Copies of this chain bind each other. A is one copy, B any other.
Amino acid sequence: MKTENGSARPLPPGATIGILGGGQLGRMLAMAGARLGLKSHVYSDEPDAPAFQVAHAYTLGRYDDEAALKKFSEACDLVTFEFENVPEDTARFLTAHVKVAPGPLALATAQDRLLEKNFVAGLGIATAPFKDVTSAVEARRAFEALGGPCVLKTRRLGYDGKGQQKVASADEAERAFTAMGGLPAILEKFVEFSFEASVVAARGHDGAFAAYDPSQNEHENHILRRSLVPSPLTTQQIAEAESIARSIAEALSYVGVLSVELFVGKNGALIVNEIAPRVHNSGHWTLEACLTSQFEQHMRAVAGWPLGDAARHSDAVMENIIGFDHDEWLNLARRPAGLHLYGKNEARAGRKMGHITRISPRTKS
């Protein structure tokens, strides 16, 4: 993809983008690529992966099946990811065989809460106070040092509240560490915030940067329930959020869409909670309210195309359809809203089955 002078040569229409992961994010990426005439090849270890249904080609294979990965890489002009927990060996193997975006640095950073926190703090961006914890006794000491309620989080493989537990005392911190299997963890001071927000942004091969308006996010049971744009953030806070996303993207030499989850403190300060090196649930509203959705933006960025218009033409409220909410699909289809169902063959409690976005004329710039 790189020309001699280092500039990116865009993949032409008809090129094949490999997508590792076959869930709803991979599905929406594949569909966004198809709008642009790009073909998708989805790789997943799930036989009924939702993204298989819309991909030009797919491979059903384990993430450690090097023969299958090699064949996959040969069928693709470039490979990208729908999730950050790509096994390190898989990422390394693919990188050796095909152009991969975003690059391994972003994956490695986002996969490990300790690396991530140190990386963000190293950019001079605020995070919650935290301590590295590798033993039960360290958990106790970390609690004592931080003081007050904390959250113990495993360093790796956490999402939707999995691998984390709130603790109110040093004893609880110690017990939680043991209960969570003694895995390497961080203890993070619980931050009082007035609301949660996120900024979804893209960076191109050429360093071009485009951020979507930040959303306000509401969680239930640690799962995103709804995202609202515009958020209550002030113009200055929005500029700060974009600047945070930009610093992170640049420091990672990032190519693609990434999202940064933020706590908005009662004093108005923005604190980075988490980086997701991928399209994000809190950016689904862009499908209805922007000319270029986050999915298309990601495909444009990784394919070396110019970034699309990320301006919001409408206000939006995106709501997830979770678990058995899906039984109500016919009633949801009656609403004047953009309905998205992910083609999953079975609803389960807590499983993201779809989302629905209502829009209204833009009220705030």
Contacts and interface: CB of A to CB of B under 8 A. Distances in A.
Contacts of A354: 37
A338 interface: yes
Interface string A317-361: 000000000100110011011111111010000000010000101
A306 interface: yes
Contact of A336 (B53, B54, B309): B309
Contact of A53 (B52, B56, B306, B308): B56
A10 B333 CA distance: 11
Contacts of A338: 291-292
Nearest to A51: B34
A205 interface: no
Tier of interface size on chain A = 35 or more
A341 B291 contact: no
A265 interface: no
Interface in A37-76: 37, 39, 52-54, 56
A342 B14 CA distance: 9
A87 interface: no
A30 B53 CA distance: 10
A314 interface: yes
Contacts of A313: 313-314, 359, 361
A36 B309 contact: no
Nearest to A306: B334
A27 interface: yes
Contacts of A53: 34, 39, 56
Copies in the complex: 2
Nearest to A341: B37
A354 B34 CA distance: 12
A1 to B, nearest CB: 14
A342 B39 CA distance: 11
A233 to B, nearest CB: 23
Given A34-B27, A35-B339, A39-B53, A333 B309 contact: no
A37 B338 CA distance: 13
A308 B311 CA distance: 25
A82 interface: no
Given A54-B31, A54-B56, A329-B12, A291 B337 contact: yes
Interface in A209-268: none
A282 to B, nearest CB: 19
A288 interface: yes
27 contacts: A10-B330, A12-B329, A13-B329, A27-B34, A30-B54, A31-B35, A31-B54, A34-B53, A34-B54, A35-B339, A35-B340, A35-B341, A36-B339, A36-B340, A36-B341, A37-B329, A37-B341, A37-B342, A291-B336, A291-B337, A300-B333, A305-B330, A305-B333, A306-B333, A308-B339, A311-B336, A313-B361
Given A13-B343, A54-B54, 17 more contacts: A13-B326, A31-B31, A31-B35, A34-B343, A36-B340, A36-B341, A39-B343, A52-B56, A53-B56, A54-B56, A288-B291, A291-B338, A291-B359, A300-B333, A306-B334, A308-B339, A361-B362
